[in-house]
Amino acid sequence: MDREKNYGSDYMFIPATSVRSGVGVEIRPDLFCYTVQIVNLCLVGSPATGEFVIVDTGMPKSANDIIAVTEDRFGPKSRPKAILLTHGHFDHVGAVIELVNHWDVPVYAHPLELPFLTGRQSYPEPDPTVEGGMVAKMSPLFPIEPIDLTNHVHMLPSDGTVPHLPDFKWIHTPGHSPGHISLFREKDRVLLAGDAFVTVKQEYLYKVLTQEQEISGPPRYLTTDWQASKESVAILEALKPAVAVTGHGLPMSGELLAASLSKLVREFDQIAVPDYGKYVN
Ligand SMILES: [Zn+2]
Ligand SMILES: [Zn+2]
């Protein structure tokens, strides 16, 4: 008998929010970024054509909200061609099973992320002792057990192309998670960075709540390979993105993005890497 799609047994609603929750912003005519509580997702595609994909799927229990936003932008009963995952952390796959069931569309992720998406492997435990604030302290609440998308999840094509988004390439940006990817569109230098770096100090409840904009490395409590993360940020900086949508925080663009990213690369050990924590060294 076929396996049933399932979240892990630790899957639950996480009561954390921000001033941006429920707010969407159009970054390009074919790029819409929407915030679910404390995490961003993107709808990529033009409402004029009605063809689009969704990148990441919000927090646990947010499927109805995401479907409503999608239908607002693309019309009643609209559905994406596919779901792309930057990685499999709970705040990026929060509604994925309900969305797959509702839309009946394929999910794509990096091969190294598949164990976490097919019920085979839990993520390492978040580190509540890491340098940081209340969000780091509450991180033991965060679901880490693998979800199981069964045969609904597929590997991204190995040549870097992105299904249904011919102008985009995917880039392997590990460190925050083994199979983390970012998406880049050369023609207008749009970067969807996932959690490779973020624009808010995600460890601090107050900064998450207010969404104070500040370049940061990946969220610390879930990042396990800081050397890989540093290399990934350097790869993204070298692309010279014009605008970056990150998994957490406000989109950043122009001079501010260029200066912030170059500073993050130069001072990665000071800005990104925590002074203490169990995944440091
Ligand atoms: Zn993450
Ligand atoms: Zn995240």
Read off the pLDDT of residues 178-229 as tens digits, 9 standing for 90 and up: 999 999 999 999 999 999 999 999 999 889 899 989 999 999 999 999 999 9
- CA–centroid distance, 93 to ligand 1, in Å, is 10
- CA–centroid distance, 90 to ligand 1, in Å, is 8
Are the C-beta atoms of 202 and 135 separated by less than 8 Å? yes
Cα 247 from Cα 180, distance rounded (Å): 12
* pLDDT at residue 262 tops 80: yes
Question: pTM score, two decimals?
Answer: 0.97
Query: Structure tokens of 51?
Result: 């063809």
- CA–centroid distance, 163 to ligand 2, in Å, is 22
* Burial grade of 73 (CB within 10 A; 0-12, 13-18, 19 or more): middle
- CA–centroid distance, 47 to ligand 2, in Å, is 27
Name the nearest CA neighbour of 106 among 70, 88, 82, 80. 82
- CA–centroid distance, 222 to ligand 2, in Å, is 9
Mean pLDDT of 80-108: 98
- CA–centroid distance, 48 to ligand 2, in Å, is 30
- CA–centroid distance, 49 to ligand 1, in Å, is 31
| H or E segment to which residue 228 belongs | helix 226-238
Instruction: For the chain, list the strands marked E by DSSP.
Output: 24-28, 31-36, 39-44, 53-55, 83-84, 107-109, 153-155, 168-172, 181-185, 190-194, 243-246, 252-253
Q: Minimum-distance ligand to the CA of 180? A: 1
Q: Using pLDDT thresholds of 50, 70 and 90, give the confidence band for residue 1.
A: low
> Which residues make Cβ contacts (< 8 Å) with residue 54, sequence separation at least 6?
41, 42, 43, 44, 66, 70, 80, 82, 83, 84, 99
pLDDT digits (tens, 9 = 90+) for 235-250: 999 999 999 999 999 9
Residues in the 5 Å CB sphere of ion ligand 1 = 89, 195
Q: Using pLDDT thresholds of 50, 70 and 90, give the confidence band for residue 147.
A: very high
- CA–centroid distance, 92 to ligand 2, in Å, is 6
Q: Using pLDDT thresholds of 50, 70 and 90, give the confidence band for residue 43.
A: very high
* pLDDT at residue 117 tops 90: yes
Q: Using pLDDT thresholds of 50, 70 and 90, give the confidence band for residue 281.
A: confident
User: Residue 209: how many CB atoms within 10 A of its CB?
Assistant: 18
For the chain, the average pLDDT equals 96
Length of the chain: 281
> Which residues make Cβ contacts (< 8 Å) with residue 72, sequence separation at least 6?
none
- CA–centroid distance, 75 to ligand 1, in Å, is 30
